Structure 1
Amino acid sequence: MDVTFVCSSEEAPFKMEVGFFDTVRDIKQKLQGRKGWLATAMSLSHDGHALVDDVDDESHGFTGRYGLVEGSVVHVALDDDDTLRARRLKESRMPSVKTRRDGVAPPAPPLRLTVVSRCGARRLEVAVRASGTVSALRVYLERASSSGSGGFPLPRDGGYFFIHGQSVMDEARSFEWHGVAAGDEVVVFPGSVTRGPAH
């Protein structure tokens, strides 16, 4: 989804693609790559709420938690040099993310895939958790569909299903279970799927 970023040090707002499952850290890294701003020097906010880097719980920090949708506006504040030096000193004394205290591995990076709509010729790049259920994609697409500016084309009655490869996807199962890999396509088909009785 395209999100507009506004920074007081920039003359004009700019748009950048952000995935629904991108963490706040992911967004800062993308901004660092695009604008050259240090990720550690940025503070982000949306609708008056600070977007917090939270590495200890993978359910926090996802853009969906903050209600970001296609066309949202995120404000970027860049720290001054003194604040940045103090933050770097503090971070240098903190344990690395890779060595968490509880011994649990950090969350896997998001799985990037393309969603193709057969309800209208449109493609959308998304990022999902491999261990997340396919139903999360439905929630994301319905938000994108209702976000205005064209949105993602979906049937109005909510009657659609997902295909990966040549198989109908079970929305209660994970992307990993379906064998979805980075760069794969998931196709949205209008209609519904019925299963015959088991013999």
Structure 2
Amino acid sequence: MDVSFVCSGEAEPFEMEVGFFDTVQDIKEKLQSRRGWPAASISLLHNGDVLADDVYGGGGIERHGIVEGSVIHVALVPDGPRLQPQRVKRSRPASKSRGEEGAARAPLLRVTVVSRCGAGRMEVAVAARAAVSALRAELERARGARFPLPGDGAYFFIHRQSVMDEARSFEWHGVATGDEVVVFDGSVTRAPAY
């Protein structure tokens, strides 16, 4: 998956492919081979968290919430103390869970929803990290004259010729501002895995 890296002191961010199961240390070593920065002097930050080095095989970067299109900030600490893994303090209501906070902070995407269940087209703003099921809720509110939908609720979403998993985020599906999401009548079943 492609991830953007932002390093202080550099004008432009850059993209680099990382594996879903890569550890933080693996990414630091890739940065060392690509950019020449010593892995030992690199600290990586994502969503306000300093990413731990996973020295005991703690799993890949997926446990840090890093997905396709994520942005990782690179801090270079040449001879000084390393940043220690800790939570950066933010002011937020205590009632929000981490998932809700991530969806609220995510940028809004303006997408065009096209109905193949009748002649309908509307622009909708969705949070990039919100689940696609949020679009279903929004369309149900606009049902009727504003946007035609099947009466039984049996419809699914297509983005760039792929069926969208409603439990996944728009960001996960690669949806960007200006994209079209098409609503089709019916349902999708998956073949059982053998």
TM-score tier by shorter-chain length is 0.3 to 0.5
**TM-score, normalised on structure 1?**
0.45
**TM-score, normalised on structure 2?**
0.47
